[in-house]
Amino acid sequence: MQELLQYIANGLMVGGIYALIALGIVLVYKSTSIFNFIIGQMMMFGAFFFWMFAQQFNWPIWLSLLAALAASAGVGLLVERLTLRPLIGQPLLSSVLVTLAMAYLLNGIAMGIWGAYQQRLPDFLPGARVVVGGIVFAHDLLWSFGLAMVVFVLLLLFYQRTRAGLAMRATADSHQIAQARGIDVRRIFALSWALCGVIAGIGGMLLAYRLGVSQFLSLVGLKAFPAVLFGGLDSVLGALVGGLTVGILENLAGGLIDPWMSEITPYIILLLVLIIKPDGLFGVKRIERI
Amino acid sequence: MALRPCGTYDQSYAQDMAILRTRLQWILLIVGLVILFTAPLYLPGRWLNLMNLIGISLIAVLGLNILTGYCGQISLGQAAFMAVGAYTSGVLTAKLGWSFWAALPCAALSAGIVGVIFGLPSLRVKGFYLAMATLAAQFIIPALIAHPLEGITHGVRSLIVPVPKIGGVAFTSPAQIYCIIIPIAVLMTFFAKNIVRTGVGRAFIAIRDNELAAEVQGVNVFAYKLLAFFICSVYAGIAGSLWAHWMRALNPDHFSLIDSIWYVGMMIVGGLGSTAGAVFGVAFLRILDEATKVFVMWLSSVFIAWGAFLQAAFGPIVYGLVIVLFIIFEPRGLAHRWEIFKISYRIRPFAY
């Protein structure tokens, strides 16, 4: 029983990071209809920037944090401007493949700049682990879970209360009508990618605190894809629920059945969701017209 | 193909439908095949190995091209289906002592069946969601090979595959295995070119162009989609089986997501929905890859300080950049350029 609860707690905490990454994907998908396959690489870049500013340049932690977030927002902007804007109106396969190829390209660039060795981040998260009733909560996981919740609430407020958020929701509904109403759709695209870069940067730093900074970080992004589809591609709430669910199921499968099961459980969930409920739990159903 | 060489008229339906219409085309084809089949006599082993790799990749990409280029279903799992074929063939020959020639059809069939299973979501989802379903295959299949099936596949410790034999002749060296791979690749190209000229191929194209319209016209969309997945995976299975007997050591890491992206990239660079495009794309990217390796080796011998990183970083950067540039600037691929060249050649000296 104790063990089971521990797995669930761990899953919930790790799920926080998946939810955070999933939020980034949903944010971009809602306004641009492009699935962000390179979010893993954006996370890796965020973590590497932070490591470079804090350890190599010896900047203070707060400054390196802000600079790293700004830099990963810049990566998002660059990707959007250079590769995805020329593809507006092109078939789906182009945007899928261009993001996958960019992922490969960014891996190469990161390898060229920072090398292939694993690096340690400085100790930037205060606090210690918490034990409640024999269940251990690691403090970095608590931080990531908490930050995921904060980002979730901020994102909801942003969508509900700000003009830019309203413009983004309008763009999500229809690019053409939004443009006709005087919304600069290209600016919205750029804003979405920059915000996604910031979110990915936060996720990357939190993960790197636990796993170290290396090429491996980009693989974690792949685990967020099932979470996004589970909740529905265009639902902010879905990303949160999907992330947590995938985290918990993954930990349960890995702990109770076999460690290697944790690798593929998210994808088995993905297949089942696609067959049973293709739009995800909270996704908008699209009806096809001739 | 509105433009014909000057003076070429069709006098029967057979002539109208033929792939090769003129004597020059026949001569070029025969000369090309003769050069291809006599290559082991004068090309060095390194080149032959590159040709072998091109042949195997070509088979995989041809299958993918039928699924994506003609039937319009995106697949990011071609390498995983290749793994199914490779391991079927490897286990049958290494553990049960079958001959390569019996294992090859089994590999094709097993990969085909697995492909149909992972194609099942295409009943309900399409486009991007289907890409995710095949992405799931790309993670699930190698994990299954590496862990629960470890007893028969040896997992990450590599499975050693025996050399294919006919009678007493063993196909060991690059030149010998070339004699197996290239004829099969040529045969599969011939099939791929002709499958899409039949009723089945036209049904695929109808589904690609508009699914609902195809269904209204009486095309059984689901059956044809599964058939497309089956054909695609059969091609992957054959490619995998050849890969197994060419490498002679199998590891689940040989069939990763990156390899699947390579195959889709080859298809895009060559040109979607074109058999000639598949040939161009595979040859272009494989030769580029080889050239990059040679260039990096030279570069890292000049700038020794960067050496290790350079080798690891250069390949992905070049490959990613080529794909991105092709999608942005020439989404119709090399096949389109080839068509433009052929037309301008035919109507020379006029500009239009």
A95-141 pLDDT, tens digit each: 888 888 899 899 888 888 887 778 888 777 777 777 777 777 778 78
Segment A255-273 mean pLDDT: 83
Across B66-70, B175-179, B181-185, B302-306, least confident range: B302-306
Q: Does B227 touch chain A (CB under 8 A)?
A: no
Nearest-CA distance B324 → chain A (Å)? 5
pLDDT given for residue B352 in this prediction: 61
Q: Residue B73: closest CA among chain A residues belongs to which residue?
A: A93
Indicate the residue of B118, B135, B258 with minimum beta-carbon distance to A104. B258
What are B249-280's pLDDT values in tens digits?
Answer: 888 888 888 899 999 999 999 988 889 999 99
Mean pLDDT over residues A197-224, rounded? 86
Give the domain ranges of chain B: 48-346
Q: What are phi and psi of B303, to 5 degrees?
A: -100, 85
Residue ranges with strand state E in B1-108 = none
- Predicted ipTM of the assembly: 0.87
Q: Nearest 5°: phi and psi at B152?
A: -100, -20
Minimal CA separation from B80 to chain A, in Å: 14
Chain B residue numbers with beta carbons less than 8 Å from the beta carbon of A222 are: 139, 257
pLDDT, position A271:
86
3-class SS shares of chain A: helix, strand, coil, % to 5: 75, 5, 20
User: Which residues of chain A make contact with B265, given a CB cutoff of 8 A?
Assistant: 97, 101
Instruction: Find out whether A44 and A118 touch, Cβ atoms under 8 Å.
Output: no
In chain A, the residue whose alpha carbon lies closest to the alpha carbon of B326 is A98
Q: Which residues partner with A130 through β-bridges?
A: A137
Picking from A94, A103, A275, the nearest residue to B331 by CB comes out as A94
Mean pLDDT calculated for residue range B310-326:
85
User: B206 or A127: which carries more pLDDT confidence?
Assistant: B206
Identity of the residue numbered B117: I
Q: Does B319 touch chain A (CB under 8 A)?
A: yes
Q: Is the pLDDT of residue B305 over 70?
A: no
Closest CA to A190 of A37, A66, A40, A83: A83
Tens-digit pLDDT profile for residues B225-238: 999 999 999 999 99
Size of interface A-B (CB pairs under 8 A): 130
What is the average pLDDT across A214-233?
84
CA distance B223 to B201: 13
Contacts of B131 in chain A (CB under 8 A): 96
Q: What is the pLDDT of residues A32-83, one digit of tens each?
A: 888 888 999 999 999 999 999 988 888 888 898 899 999 999 999 999 998 8
Distance, CA of B177 to CA of A194 (rounded, Å): 51
**Residue scoring higher pLDDT (A116 or B29):** B29
B253, two tokens: 């890491």
Average pLDDT over residues B292-310: 76
The one-letter code for the residue type at B243 is W
Please give the residue of chain B at the shortest CA–CA distance from A102. Answer: B320
Select the residue of B212, B268, B308 nearest A288 (Cβ to Cβ).
B212
Q: Is the confidence at residue B244, as pLDDT, over 60?
A: yes
Q: Give CA torsion, residues A100, A105, A107, A112, to 10 deg.
A: 180
Give ∠ CA B129-B132-B135 in degrees, rounded to 5. Answer: 160
Q: Determine if the peptide bond prior to B349 is cis (ω within 30°).
A: yes
Is A128 at the interface with chain B, CB within 8 A?
A: no
Read off the pTM. Answer: 0.90
In CATH, B48-346 is 1.10.3470 = yes
Shortest CB distance from A225 goes to which of B68, B132, B309? B132
**Domains plus CATH for chain A?**
2-276 (1.10.3470)
pLDDT band at B58 (very low <50, low <70, confident <90, very high): very high
Instruction: For chain B, give the percent of residues with pLDDT over 70.
Output: 96
- CB < 8 Å to B139, chain A: 222, 263-264, 267
Per CB-CB distance under 8 Å, the chain A contacts of B310 are 112
Token pair 């944090």 is found at A65
